[in-house]
């Protein structure tokens, strides 16, 4: 099976490219300049040339803070561009897996969000992603919208890598503790996307289409996520880092973020039989990838190279 992915450098695109051979799937990432979401006319030719069996719409404008001052660009990419990808999928007659975000919600609900909850973004980024969802839904029926959250991986920029970097030069960090969410490994997302794509290609049942929440099991605040990162890093030889919890009001930010970003994965488990691992398990796996080699080399040097 050939799965074409929009974008090359993002966390999920790179995780899909790494995982594809293991799952016996051909992953074809396409990005700029061949496919540019700001230039909708480039999208259909690029996707048609790749001859996909399914398309994963992963490319997006993801700079949450900058979106507040780059509204037109955020909507051009996440709205108009995503809509053009959906139009191409419809014309090619292939399933579309469209990635969205927890930021489509306002964060006021006291419990995890389910797929039928009313959306109400409180930032430009979230609003632009809702525009993409709506354009996809209006354009293609063979569609699964998968909302994910707090994505981290060994690739690109993300919270986990930022914490590890800061931990190299700080023994104490302040981290927001009043926003709750579901940290989610890009590898876990990629594995799920491939499974969902296979099912959609092989089974026309409508229950495999629609909106699904795709997030790591369990929940955490940003401060709790940071503590887990530093605690795990210590086991790989890093120095301890103290996490000092603060409120969102104490953290300077140009954008308001949802206080509750938790997503319920019950529907994905019920329909597809997919339950993502606990976020702590996947966090350790990513940190092992990032730090494990250095840790093993350090232990070998300390023991004089004896095994």
Give me the CATH number covering residue 9.
3.40.50.720
Q: At what angle do helices 82-92 and 124-139 cross, to 10 degrees?
A: 20
Q: In this structure, is residue 202 part of a structural domain?
A: yes
Rounded to whole angstroms, the Cα distance separating 188 from 12 reads 9
What are the contacts of 295-304 at 24+ separation with CB within 8 A?
Answer: 295/236, 295/237, 298/237
**What parts of the chain have a pLDDT lower than 50?**
295-307
Taking the C-alpha atoms of residue 159 and residue 216, their distance in angstroms, rounded to an integer, is 15
In a domain, 98, yes or no: yes
Residue 170 lies in a domain: no
User: For tokens 């996520």, what's the residue?
Assistant: 225
Considering 125, 152, 155, 272, which one is annotated as catalytic?
Answer: 125
pLDDT given at position 292: 83
- Number of domains the chain contains: 1
Q: Identify the bridge partners of residue 213 per DSSP, sorted by sequence position.
A: 147
SS3 at position 77: helix
The secondary element (H helix, E strand) that includes residue 247 is none
- Residue 46 CB partners (closer than 8 Å, separation 6+): 30, 34, 35
Q: What is the pLDDT of residue 102?
A: 98
Q: What is the pLDDT of residue 293?
A: 61
Tell me the β-bridge partners of 244: 174
- Identify the CA nearest to 286 among candidates 195, 150, 180: 150
The domain of 93 spans 2-151+185-217+263-276
Residue 121 counted as domain residue: yes
Q: 212 in a domain, yes or no?
A: yes
User: Does a structural domain hold residue 284?
Assistant: no
Q: Does a structural domain hold residue 192?
A: yes
In a domain? residue 21: yes
Give the pLDDT confidence score for residue 301 in this predicted structure. Answer: 39
Write the DSSP assignment of 123-164 as a string of letters: SHHHHHHHHHHHHHHHH-SSEEEEEE-SEE-SSSS-HHHHHH
Rounded alpha-carbon distances, angstroms, from residue 284 to 15, 82, 152, 161, 236: 16, 33, 11, 12, 10
Tell me the DSSP string of 264-285.
--HHHHHHH---PPBHHHHHHH
- Mark whether 125 is an active-site residue: yes
pTM for the structure as a whole = 0.94
What secondary structure letter does DSSP report for 250?
G
């Amino acid at each position: 099976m050939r799965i074409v992915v929009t974008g090359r450098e993002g966390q999920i695109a790179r995780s899909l490219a790494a995982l594809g051979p293991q799952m016996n799937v051909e992953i074809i990432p396409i990005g700029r300049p061949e496919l540019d979401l700001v230039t909708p006319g480039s999208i259909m030719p690029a996707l048609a040339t790749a001859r996909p069996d399914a398309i994963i719409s992963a490319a997006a404008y993801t700079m949450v803070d900058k979106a507040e001052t780059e509204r037109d660009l955020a909507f051009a990419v996440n709205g108009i561009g995503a809509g053009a990808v959906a139009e191409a999928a419809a014309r090619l007659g292939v399933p579309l897996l469209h990635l969205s975000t927890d930021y489509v919600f306002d964060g006021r609900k006291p419990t995890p969000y389910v797929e039928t909850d009313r959306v109400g973004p409180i930032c430009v980024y979230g609003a632009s992603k809702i525009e993409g969802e709506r354009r996809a839904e209006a354009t293609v029926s063979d569609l699964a919208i998968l909302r994910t959250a707090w994505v981290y991986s060994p690739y690109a920029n993300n919270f986990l890598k930022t914490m590890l970097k800061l931990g190299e030069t700080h023994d104490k960090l302040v981290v927001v503790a009043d926003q709750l969410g579901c940290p989610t490994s890009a590898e876990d997302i990629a594995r799920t996307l491939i499974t969902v794509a296979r099912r959609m290609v092989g089974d026309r049942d409508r229950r495999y289409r629609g909106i699904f929440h795709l997030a790591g099991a369990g929940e955490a605040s940003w401060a709790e996520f940071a503590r887990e990162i530093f605690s795990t890093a210590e086991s790989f030889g890093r120095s301890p880092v103290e996490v000092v919890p603060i409120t969102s009001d104490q953290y300077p930010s140009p954008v308001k973020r949802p206080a509750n970003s938790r997503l319920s994965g019950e529907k994905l488990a019920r329909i597809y039989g997919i339950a993502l691992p606990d976020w702590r398990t996947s966090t350790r796996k990513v940190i092992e990838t990032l730090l494990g080699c250095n840790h093993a080399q350090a232990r070998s040097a300390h023991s004089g190279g004896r095994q």
